[in-house]
Chains A and B, each alone.
Chain A
């Protein structure tokens, strides 16, 4: 299995850097940045299989970033994450275009499962 490339975008650096390490333990090639502009820059420079975006970002919001990615890279799946309890079982629907919506604190196994699911769903030929 080739190494999937993941980009994590979250303003909480302590959190996102740890997640990168943990994903690498699980066979992903992960990178991170802490705002939307940096994320777009990194997307231009490298290619990724999946992007994980926090809903609340400084400057460009998570939803704006999501919309931009959906327009610019229609074949790149995006997962949204939030610390605000607006996900999961209370009926809040993920913003349009997001593959899934996860609530912090994230269960790493759930994240891996959703990312894998997203990558498979967006693989050419599917």
Chain B
């Protein structure tokens, strides 16, 4: 066994120790004391922050809507104008040139050259007869003689007189779209002038805007196919996955549209009249959060620091309150039980004194009568069976002496409730205490030793209270030792002003974890058998008498309670 283990654990208990018995109740109370004020303080703060956030979010939403609206209205106007311009030019060419003039590839080529010079984005030019056959063609494709009569756009242009196509991937894999106009050349006869236009045109309209990284503008058709490249949604002719609202006159803005890169965007739609094109402008919402956090970092820091500060204050204060409450509870319980104990002892004392007194008088008569008999036997000249009578009288007076020792002890205990200072011989006091329990000691073969230094002086203290202290300690030892065990009481002088009485037993000992609590009210290892008050009251009495009590114990080896008492009590 290591030296560490051999060392007995020693502790001195101070008054501030809290009782360990009602922990869950105090923990719950502590939790409530923290949460309620914390919530009361933090909820308004959180609401304030939420309101602030909402106001900012609304402001930002309004701002983003404004940006989208501006892009949509400007771009739509330019786009519409550009397409209209090309359709008008094509229409002008058709009207200023007769059909026969246009029925010449040289002429078509010359016109195409002029258009390219003016606009730059005309790719080809062709004349389609009413049977759908492309009769004349000028441009990079081999499209002469192609018949369009089974194509929907052919019928649309025949019906409406004008047509703008969706974007398609054309020559050299560049995106194009078609503008066509129909010219009536007599009853039931018409021809169509058709031009292919480079989508670059559309791009120019959009890329002339300085949009930045968080905003995107592009064109789709009603089937969700991109007509221009989009920064957010992909390349030309990719299909977008957001829902396109049905035709609206001006524009429509939808918040919280999903975005492929994650997050969401606010998105506005504007239909370009007379074309399949729908102009879309989108602006990301994420930067707003960063913006808010950045802008509101002071608010957020304030909020966090407030929360931490409130938590710290509430925690500290509530811990104090609980500690005080616990202390007050313990003190109240102790006072209550001290009063109860005092009353019990007073009642017991009165009872004992009454009994002792009632017995003392007849005892005194027996004593005197026996004494008289003795006197008579001794003084008479002739006394029959004198020797035998004297023996009998001796036996009677011895028994009376024994009885009177008992009654004196009882009377001594009865009168002990008020502190009385007197000179006390500790050895005599301890012997008185042991006298009460000597029968139990004999029955259980418990060996009791009292060691007392010859030089230990009398002390000034309260006899009754000291008797209670040692009755308690010796009683505890009786409870702890097994039959055949031993209890040793030693009395010695520690210093010129102090004596120590220790009560040691070889009983089962006290676990280290319990040792700190043995003097607390209601702490008991005896289960239902103990009140848990004995040692608490013992400590109170010892302290009241100006002393201290300490305990050392080792499980399986035994326990020592040591009471240090002043020789002269100083108040």
Contacts and interface: CB of A to CB of B under 8 A. Distances in A.
Nearest to A84: B357
Contacts, number: 75
A6 to B, nearest CB: 15
Nearest to B414: A85
Nearest to B368: A18
Nearest to B375: A25
A102 to B, nearest CB: 11
A83 interface: yes
* Dominant secondary structure at the B interface: helix
Interface string B116-157: 000000000000000000000000000000000000000000
B379 A12 contact: no
Given A18-B369, A19-B368, A22-B372, A104 B411 contact: no
A85 B416 CA distance: 12
Interface string B335-367: 000000000000000000100110011011111
B370 to A, nearest CB: 10
B463 interface: yes
A4 B369 CA distance: 23
- Name the residue among B353, B371, B420, B422 with the largest chain A CB count within 10 angstroms: B371
Given A84-B357, A85-B356, A106 B367 contact: yes
Contacts of A91: 420, 422-423, 463
Interface string A3-28: 00000000010110011011001000
B77 interface: no
B290 to A, nearest CB: 89
Contacts of B428: 89
A85 B410 contact: yes
A85 B407 contact: yes
A23 to B, nearest CB: 10
A108 interface: yes
Interface residues of B, number: 31
A90 B464 CA distance: 10
B361 A85 contact: no
Interface in A95-126: 103-106, 108
Contact of B411 (A12, A15, A25, A84): A84
B247 interface: no
A112 to B, nearest CB: 11
B21 to A, nearest CB: 39
B224 interface: no
Given A18-B369, A22-B375, A105 B363 contact: yes
A76 interface: no
A57 interface: no
- Name the residue among A21, A84, A89, A105 with the largest chain B CB count within 10 angstroms: A105
A88 B422 CA distance: 13
Contact of B364 (A12, A21, A22, A89): A12
Contacts of A15: 361, 364-365, 368
A25 B361 CA distance: 23
Contacts of A84: 353, 357, 360, 411
26 contacts: A12-B361, A14-B365, A15-B365, A18-B368, A22-B368, A25-B375, A25-B376, A83-B357, A83-B360, A84-B353, A84-B411, A85-B353, A85-B407, A85-B412, A85-B415, A86-B415, A88-B408, A90-B408, A90-B412, A90-B463, A91-B423, A104-B363, A104-B364, A105-B366, A105-B404, A106-B364
Interface of B: 353, 356-357, 360-361, 363-369, 371-372, 375-376, 379, 400, 404, 407-408, 410-412, 414-415, 420, 422-423, 428, 463
Interface of A: 12, 14-15, 18-19, 21-22, 25, 83-86, 88-91, 103-106, 108
Given A18-B365, A105-B360, A106-B367, 10 more contacts: A25-B376, A84-B357, A84-B360, A85-B356, A85-B412, A88-B408, A91-B420, A105-B366, A105-B400, A106-B364
